Amino acid sequence: MVINETLAKRDMPTISHDHYQKIFGFPVIDYYRRLGFDFVEESFEVVGTEFIEGYEKHKFDIGLHTGVEEVLLKLGSLRVGHSILSAYKQNTLDELVAHFGLTHRFLKIVGLNNHYAHSKVDNAVQWMSDLNLPPNDVLFVGDTAHDHEVAEAIGVDCVLIPGGHQTREALEATGARVVEKIQDILSL
């Protein structure tokens, strides 16, 4: 994990993937505080930028989750549109989606204008306005409690999938529907 490189460089304890999933959340600055950063001697901007630089070096090392392409193809065949709303910086999000050859599958690809991952709510409000769809025609699929918060902020249904940034327990605590794998959304 890239975060362990950031921690080790400062002689801070490294973490396991399980621990990461238990403490991760938005805004990301609070996650860093839970890791032990206090941002008195070193700013969040410095630490966050260092992490992103390491993350960028490895962004193509991991493939798509199992079933993503199948779900996109099936939804496309049913003429169900889909978009990406991410806390990833817009230009690198575009690059990553293009790397996997998926750009043409999305109506909108919306990222942030920075890499500090504060919140996706403002972008979600604009995204809904741009789509001009009634909220009951939209299903928000995510892997964090923040995704549920975003869905609530724009008044749409939400389904969460474990295996990403947070534990199943954290996702279930939101009250959102939690499915086992991405293919399960096809039955919804």
Burial class (CB in 10 A: 0-12, 13-18, 19+), 168: middle
Which residue has better confidence, 38 or 112? 38
| 121-169 pLDDT per residue, tens | 888 898 999 989 999 999 999 999 999 999 999 999 999 999 889 999 9
Mean pLDDT of the chain: 91
Provide CB contacts within 8 A for 25, sequence distance 6+. 31, 34, 144, 145, 146, 166, 170
Domains of the chain: 2-58 (no CATH), 68-187 (3.40.50.1000)
User: What integer pLDDT is reported at residue 116 of this predicted model?
Assistant: 44
Q: Can you read off the two tokens belonging to residue 175?
A: 């009250």
How many Å apart are CA 44 and CA 29, to the nearest integer? 7
Q: What confidence tier does 88 reach under pLDDT thresholds 50, 70, 90?
A: confident
Edge-to-edge strands, sheet with 177-178: 139-142, 157-160, 177-178
Flag whether pLDDT at 119 surpasses 70: no
